[in-house]
């Protein structure tokens, strides 16, 4: 009697167990098949820029005030000449260099840095995409790209010299890093929104 009750309970449990297995299998298939958009691989000319006055065309002080307000920054070239320089991109965001998150290849390469990152730098938990300037006629704002040697980036800016589908500009935090990058031909993976 007790054995038959156990068998009945097991038989009632089996269909839900099969359903769970099928659900897990379906989720794994969707994950492996990649139900998102496929990347487009393209060779691009990538240059670099930073937020300094020579890269972003700004100067301290306005000629209207005889440059005596040197603590303010003003645009020195282009159609916005004379306006206050905010440092924001064309899409209104603050430019940034890509940051690898806690779960990255860098953590695998240097596992001894994981405790340091979690205790001293908790903002490194999530990865940050870098800022890319591109021609928005070909790559609209929000287009994500993977550039070898730079990492993941998102199109958030445009530049006066960035014209055409084969040209991008990568943001770096310092001018020396931007100069070190120079001008390179890279095979980028492009994910349009």
Give the residue extent of every domain in the chain: 1-34, 37-55+89-191
State percent of the chain over pLDDT 90: 28
pLDDT at 55: 75
pLDDT at 139: 93
pLDDT at 167: 94
Question: Whole-number mean pLDDT of the chain?
Answer: 77
Statement: residue 153 has pLDDT above 90: yes
Assessment of whether the complete model's pTM goes beyond 0.75: no
Block residue for tokens 């006629």: 137
- CATH of the structural domain 37-55+89-191, one choice from 2.40.40.10, 3.40.50.10190, 2.30.110.10, 3.60.15.10: 2.40.40.10
Higher-confidence position of 18 and 114: 114
Q: Which residues of 166-191 are buried (b: 16+ CB within 10 A; e: fewer)?
A: ebbbbbbeebeebeebeeeebebebb
Average confidence (pLDDT) over 87-93 = 83
Average confidence (pLDDT) over 153-172 = 90
Average confidence (pLDDT) over 92-104 = 80
Statement: residue 143 has pLDDT above 90: yes
Helix (H) or strand (E) holding 12: helix 2-33
**What is the tens place of the pLDDT at every residue in 24-59?**
766 666 555 555 567 788 999 999 988 877 777 666
Enumerate the H helices of 38-150 as residue ranges: 53-56, 105-109, 114-120
Q: How far apart are the first and last CA of the chain?
A: 62
């Amino acid at each position: 009697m007790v054995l038959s009750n156990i068998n009945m309970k097991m038989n009632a449990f089996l269909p839900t167990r099969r359903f769970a297995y099928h659900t897990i299998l379906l989720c794994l298939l969707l994950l492996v098949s990649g139900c998102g958009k496929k990347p487009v691989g393209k060779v691009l000319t990538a240059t670099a820029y930073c937020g300094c006055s020579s890269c972003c065309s700004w100067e301290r002080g306005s000629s209207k005030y005889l440059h005596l307000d040197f603590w303010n920054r003003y645009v020195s070239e282009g159609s916005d000449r004379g306006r206050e320089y905010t440092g924001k991109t064309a899409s209104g965001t603050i430019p940034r260099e890509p940051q690898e998150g806690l779960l990255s290849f860098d953590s695998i390469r240097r596992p001894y840095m994981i405790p340091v990152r979690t205790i001293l730098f908790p903002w490194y938990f999530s990865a940050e995409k870098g800022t890319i300037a591109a021609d928005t006629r070909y790559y609209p704002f929000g287009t994500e790209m993977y550039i070898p040697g730079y990492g993941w980036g998102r199109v958030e800016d445009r530049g006066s010299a960035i014209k055409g589908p084969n040209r991008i500009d990568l943001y770096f935090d310092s001018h020396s890093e931007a100069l070190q990058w120079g001008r390179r031909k890279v095979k980028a993976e492009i994910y349009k929104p």
